[in-house]
Chain A
Amino acid sequence: MFRALQFTFGAAIVIFLLMPIFAILPLAFTSSVFLNYPIPAYSMRWLHELTTADVWRTSIVNSLIIGGGATVFATVLGTLASLGMRKGALPMVGLLRTLFLLPMVVPAVVLGVGMQIFLVRLGLASTYLGVIIAHAVLCIPFVIVSVSAALQGIDPSIERAASSLGAPPVTVFRRVTLPLAVPGVVSGAIFAFATSLDEVVLTLFVAGPNQRTLARQMFSSIRENINPTVAAAALLLIIGTLCLGGLAALLRWRQKRSALKTAPSAI
């Protein structure tokens, strides 16, 4: 009885969470010019529009540029930060870690306002670099979480072994630590890219008309001329996110499997 209830409740939650996605996706294939049901006939018309209309095409390209840039920035900085916080050589590592993770919880609006003022000062408002920096700030926590977890999984005696076998610190890092942290770095990068991809609020604050991202374009097109291209864009985003999520899950699974296998108890 209780289990049945549990199951029903769980299913209800899942449906509640997924419903909006299922509601919008079929509309990507409508032949009508209106973003509503019923769908008169199916066509590729809006997907075509999405890939040919200038505003949409540039927004997709922008998303890729900004997402790529932010990912590179966030991955490099986040990885360095995780390495620095690892050995416990720094005082107040706990506080530092909390600070680094703050962008995850600070409302994007607050971050957006601050970021805009800051970027104007630097003369970077409404530039690609500005948007990339702003997005990177938001993405860094994801990289730190993921890379820190990977570093924590490295048995310190493996690095000690390398060192005793004649490897100076830089070589230990290059030959042992980094290769073992790569899965964490890659999945951090994936999360960073996905985060940048659907960021709207921050983009509204810091991006000019030239840095219109796909998410931003969807937001404005919903208000200006509402048509099913939005649904097509949503489809594109969801497919993209699913691919990235799948990749991250695959990486994690492989990492877990190899971690299990190297456990010394496995005789």
Chain B
Amino acid sequence: MSAPAEGTRAIEVQDLHKHFGDHKVLNGIDFHVDAGEVVCVIGPSGSGKSTLLRCVNRLEQPTSGTVLVEGVDVTSPETDLNKIRSRIGMVFQQFNLFPHMSVLRNLTIAQQRVLKRNRGEADGIARANLERVGLGDRADAYPAQLSGGQQQRVAIARALSMEPDMMLFDEPTSALDPELVGDVLDVMRSLASEGMTMMVVTHEMGFAREVGDKLVFMDEGIIIEEGAPRDVLSSPQHQRTQAFLSKVL
């Protein structure tokens, strides 16, 4: 399969199970993200949000079930995993920038190694993406010289430099000092308004309400409830959702 057919979903998860030994973390997840959609995932700690996200680009190997990305089964051994991954940007809670490389090199290394872009082209794309996250002047800095918020914006720019079709965010603001959260959310907000397909695990209910097209509530490895963020947040149907929201809102 080459270009995704019209109507193919960006991400489609069917009956996904993930066990770590005896520990059953995901217990039958059915779920999808359409192209251009922003889906936010919330739920208590340990409910399997990160695991679900990591199954999408197969950083975690599902125990059973299907994960389709643009119609391609990522769990199939025939799939070119690296190619699929290069089309899925991922942003981690702990940034995971490469500390031994300059900001610019962080953004160009995978462009050159994976997409085989030449140095000049990769540099141009990297600089444009640094501008986009408001860090055009920090290309030559090293990650350790940046604040957490700046590092996370560099991490977003690094993912964007691959020109991915979709972005996965795993609690991108949870490791940040409160005053630095806003800048990162602003970048994500503008990405969403540009039509980027996004799956965002977050505790930022304000962001979910304002930016999300869909909100998914998970607990104990299953999806308890999903719907328009406004509806789920203001009138949760399920008792477990109510209990969770009453704690965090």
Report whether chain A binds chain B. Answer: no
Binding site for B on A (CB under 8 A): none
Binding site for A on B (CB under 8 A): none
